[in-house]
Structure 1
Amino acid sequence: MAAGASVAVSPEPGRCAFYLERKRRFCKMVPAQGKRFCGEHGAHEEEENRKRILCPLDPKHTVYEDQLQKHLKRCNSREKPKPVYFVQDINAGIKDTAVLSEEQQLPISSLSTEELEDLIRKLRTAADSINYVLQDQILSHPALKEALNDPRNGEAASKHLKQQASILGNMERLHLLGPGNCFVEFGAGRGKLSHWVDIALEDAQDVHFLLVERATTRFKVDGKHRKHCFERLQVDIQHLCLNKVPALVKEKLPVVGIGKHVCGCATDLALKCLLETYTQLGDNRKEDPAPKRLKTNGTTIAPNNSDESCRMAITENRCCVAGIVIALCCHHRCEWEHYVGQEFFRRVGLGAMEFNYLKRLTSWATCGMRYTSRKASIADTKNEEQSNEVEEHDQDDSSAECNLDSIQGVLTTEERKQIGYLCKLLIDYGRIEYLQKRGYEAVLQHYTDLSVSLENVLLTAVPCWPSSAPPSTA
């Protein structure tokens, strides 16, 4: 407050009489008729010996002691009833003795030079054993043509549209943009990816959208749609049981799992949610002819399974998960407990301890460019709605271990960057093998340029068809 500013000596007419010391003014809330204090400060008003106490559910507000039980039934801080599709930790995986405690999850800086070199040696040996190269699948889709050419787009909005266009282009390439599907968007946020899928489908029949997001979100776009059914599931993916979602139980539609930047272990939880909780509905789902699949250009890995085991996996799943298209993100947020590629890591001689370090090393792939990208995106933001377009991974620098003081002179900047990419590849390849063993043809590809997003890898998966059981071309 400026020097010499007057201080109110009495409350404004019709306002609460409680004086706020910190703000040096009276409360501006309106009390009930005949009262001097508002409900929040009613404890200061003695009337009929009624006493106000702190709410046991949320001490930030008070309640009359004699009305406590009535208040607890309607307090906004009370525990809400769990939805029918909430099943505690259903996708969390089984805890084992290999899970590290917080004290054991040490930072990279705790390693000596010799220990770091040994870890990098293990990483390169494992990467050489898979010998996997990502191809470019940078596509677009006509549904976003007008939006992409809008001159009012800022830099952040333009980057988002390019990513969404490429995701839709890859879905079209895999014949996943069609009628008779339920699109489940994980980490939906505002629901923009589902919005563009809806635009692309136009008048397609039997289409349903489920938007999974654990947090409340402002500026949602799914409420604007009327042609197709949009439903939000406010639940953590860790607790989501798809075969209990009423819409899926009723419609029995095949599911297409989608997501744009599904951070860290959320990707692993989403894969488990799709392939380990929804497949039980397969026996009763609508039987549609299998769509024709296009072969990927040089990126397909030969499945480890035989044709017979692949056929068995398809029979078990009944193709109730028709496809998966997820843009990966924030590998430093992965957790060994939830990671679906544990079997792969163990096979190449790595475990929970190495995983803890490798996930931290993934930040080396992008941390040199991340600050500049985030600064440019924020500078381009012009209002609160546009600020939601800034990538979450561009805002989350605190977890990325970019302090290189302890390894100066050991590795060059380019070597650190390459190691970061290898760590990302190794984690993602474990997901590929997980999908392959469940009868899916899974591929990693670059779906956008690094100048558009530093997290530019897309995971796609469609049911694989053994040579003795080719897909229908109808």
Structure 2
Amino acid sequence: MTVVPGGVVSGAGDKCSDESADRLQCEFFLVKKNRRCGMTRRAGSKLCSEHSKDADRVPCPLDPTHTVCSSKLRVHMRKCNKFRHDVSYKAKQREIPWFDEGLNSISEGQRDSKPADETLLKSVALIVGVFEAEFGGKPPLPLIEKRNEFLERTERYKTLVNRKHARQQSSLIQHLKDSQLWPNSDPLASGKTLEYIELGCGRAEFSRYVNIVANLDQPEFTNDATEGALRARAQAPSFTLVDRASQRLRFDNKFSSDVDTEVEIRREKIDIKDLKLDVILHDASEYVAISKHLCGVATDLSLRCLLNSNKCKGNLKGILIAMCCRHVCQSSEYVNQEYIEELLKKHGNPKSEAMTYTEFFQCLKKFCSYCTCGLVPDKDPDGGAEDHVTRLTHNERQRIGHMARRILDEGRAQFLQSRGFQTSLFKYVDNSVTLEDTALLALRV
């Protein structure tokens, strides 16, 4: 058998040809996979349509990594896998009123790259210096893990084998309640309906628990002014759910059955960067934005989305976000670039070794990843320095990672403070439950 790297495999008598004799298999050789292409070719051609050099094939406009016959381009774009998963493309085709491309984004398509080894090494002293100067004299973030009695009394909670996520939700829900981000308990009191906005909701498990507890936590009242004794419950909250992915096994249809009453929910599949929030919110409501493990750049996009909403300007009571995955933040989307730039001016190296905002941010991201990467079994946490580019042990990288994480989280908190919120950062569960244990709470002043 003769193999041409990245090309055609020749030799009719080889074993691979015998095994595929019952069909016309493409003869293009995939070097990385060390095998032939598995697609079927047409009679009279050695290559499948993907690897053929036919002049009438053009790159797909939705995904240039594959090609399509130009005469079939219009049909292909309606069934292309990229189209099926491209929320923005489908939204533009349907002219959805809550889609406004790039409304909550300021990046203009810019993406971070991996920091150079030299830059990463240079950032170690800078991160430590910034942290010690800004937070060295302050206590570490407090562990404030709370428990909600109503949630932990439910049959669903009692029967869970793994309570890791339920324990997180119990703490976050109690924080909502103690911060007055909770439905009014008096059904006769005049006021606005409370609407929870869960951004990056996934299957909406967090909102489902909020709904269950909000229902259990509402006392019943007797109104003797009406004919007979009317027992009424306080008005239940509504839910607006936002996620860009198509979630399987989501909990949307469980909200009403969980509490034996109709619960108003609305789910929209859209990227937060393109979300025009006012269009999907109810009028005459008060809003509370929530999220559990809102990844990386999605946190920054969500904060900007909320502040871009006219309805939220006067009626957003507060925000509670359990943040995660700082390693997938984007320097161009971060909500408080001025804060990082100011830190560089105050604590940066001399001009001959100056680091730019983008370089420093990329290094902060990289070190944040060391907080959650874990340790290989049987490895010494105080070893491994000689095998790593930073020349730091696992524990040292993790320690600096926590410093980097605090810097990024503090910038977000200060951003909201400058917009009229009272903010606090805290650990809402012990890190034995989750390594992504930090929450940001913001209350309208």
2:333 aligns with one of 338, 353, 364: 338
Partner of 1:221: 251
1:139 aligns with one of 129, 139, 146: 146
User: Does 2:109 correspond to 1:86?
Assistant: no
Kindly state the Cα deviation for residue 281 of structure 1 after the two structures are TM-superposed.
2.6
Partner of 1:255: 287
2:270 aligns with one of 221, 235, 239: 235
> What does 1:102-251 correspond to in 2, within 5 Å?
102=113, 105-107=114-116, 109-111=117-119, 113=121, 115-128=122-135, 131=138, 133-147=140-154, 152-155=159-162, 158-179=163-184, 180-202=193-215, 204-205=234-235, 207-226=237-256, 227-245=262-280, 248=281, 250-251=282-283
Between the aligned partners of 1:342 and 1:20, the Cα distance in structure 2 is 58
Q: Aligned in 2, Cα 1:404/1:344: closer, same or farther, shift over 3 Å?
A: farther
SS in structure 1 opposite 2:398? helix
**TM-align CA RMSD:** 3.8
Partner of 1:414: 395
SS in structure 1 opposite 2:361? helix
Tell whether the 8 Å contact from 2:120 to 2:390 is kept in structure 1 after alignment.
no
Kindly state the Cα deviation for residue 146 of structure 1 after the two structures are TM-superposed.
3.6
Q: Which runs of 5+ in 2 are unaligned?
A: 1-14, 27-39, 44-55, 84-88, 185-192, 216-232, 257-261, 346-356, 378-384
> What does 1:385-400 correspond to in 2, within 5 Å?
none
Between the aligned partners of 2:176 and 2:423, the Cα distance in structure 1 is 13
Q: Aligned in 2, Cα 1:457/1:68: closer, same or farther, shift over 3 Å?
A: closer
Tell whether the 8 Å contact from 1:94 to 1:337 is kept in structure 2 after alignment.
yes
Q: In percent, how many aligned pairs have the same letter? A: 28
Partner of 1:329: 324
SS in structure 1 opposite 2:423? strand
Tell whether the 8 Å contact from 1:137 to 1:170 is kept in structure 2 after alignment.
no
Q: Aligned in 2, Cα 1:118/1:89: closer, same or farther, shift over 3 Å?
A: same
Q: What TM-score do the two structures reach when normalised by structure 1?
A: 0.63
Letter in 2 for 1:405: H
Between the aligned partners of 2:124 and 2:77, the Cα distance in structure 1 is 59
User: Does 2:270 correspond to 1:270?
Assistant: no
Between the aligned partners of 2:150 and 2:95, the Cα distance in structure 1 is 37
Letter in 1 for 2:243: E
Letter in 1 for 2:330: E
SS in structure 2 opposite 1:349? helix
Q: Aligned in 2, Cα 1:129/1:239: closer, same or farther, shift over 3 Å?
A: farther
Between the aligned partners of 1:8 and 1:93, the Cα distance in structure 2 is 52
Relative CO higher for 1 or 2, CA cutoff 8 Å, sep ≥ 6? 1
Moved over 6 A (4+): 53-63
> What does 1:414-453 correspond to in 2, within 5 Å?
414-453=395-434
Cα deviations by residue, 1:30-59 (Å, 9 ceiling, x for unpaired)? xxxxxxxxxxx9x99xxxxxxxx9997899
Between the aligned partners of 1:68 and 1:338, the Cα distance in structure 2 is 34
Letter in 1 for 2:423: A
Kindly state the Cα deviation for residue 271 of structure 1 after the two structures are TM-superposed.
0.6
Letter in 2 for 1:106: P
Q: Aligned in 2, Cα 1:177/1:95: closer, same or farther, shift over 3 Å?
A: same
Letter in 2 for 1:262: L
SS in structure 2 opposite 1:123? helix
Q: Aligned in 2, Cα 1:140/1:128: closer, same or farther, shift over 3 Å?
A: closer
Between the aligned partners of 2:159 and 2:238, the Cα distance in structure 1 is 31
Q: Aligned in 2, Cα 1:360/1:462: closer, same or farther, shift over 3 Å?
A: same
Cα deviations by residue, 1:244-298 (Å, 9 ceiling, x for unpaired)? 22xx2x42312111001001111011111112x21x236xxxxxxxxxxxxxxxx
Partner of 2:442: 461
Q: Which runs of 5+ in 1 are unaligned?
A: 10-18, 24-40, 45-52, 283-316, 373-401, 465-474
Partner of 1:32: none
Cα deviations by residue, 1:95-123 (Å, 9 ceiling, x for unpaired)? 59xx7764xx424x34475x244433443
Q: Aligned in 2, Cα 1:449/1:340: closer, same or farther, shift over 3 Å?
A: same
Aligned residues: 345
Tell whether the 8 Å contact from 2:111 to 2:330 is kept in structure 1 after alignment.
no
Between the aligned partners of 2:105 and 2:125, the Cα distance in structure 1 is 31
Structure in which a larger fraction of residues adopt strand:
2
Tell whether the 8 Å contact from 2:252 to 2:265 is kept in structure 1 after alignment.
yes
Between the aligned partners of 2:373 and 2:386, the Cα distance in structure 1 is 10
Between the aligned partners of 1:170 and 1:348, the Cα distance in structure 2 is 31
Letter in 1 for 2:335: V
Q: What TM-score do the two structures reach when normalised by structure 2?
A: 0.67
SS in structure 1 opposite 2:436? coil
Tell whether the 8 Å contact from 1:148 to 1:161 is kept in structure 2 after alignment.
no
Between the aligned partners of 2:322 and 2:424, the Cα distance in structure 1 is 12
Between the aligned partners of 1:21 and 1:433, the Cα distance in structure 2 is 63
SS in structure 2 opposite 1:347? helix
User: Does 2:365 correspond to 1:365?
Assistant: no
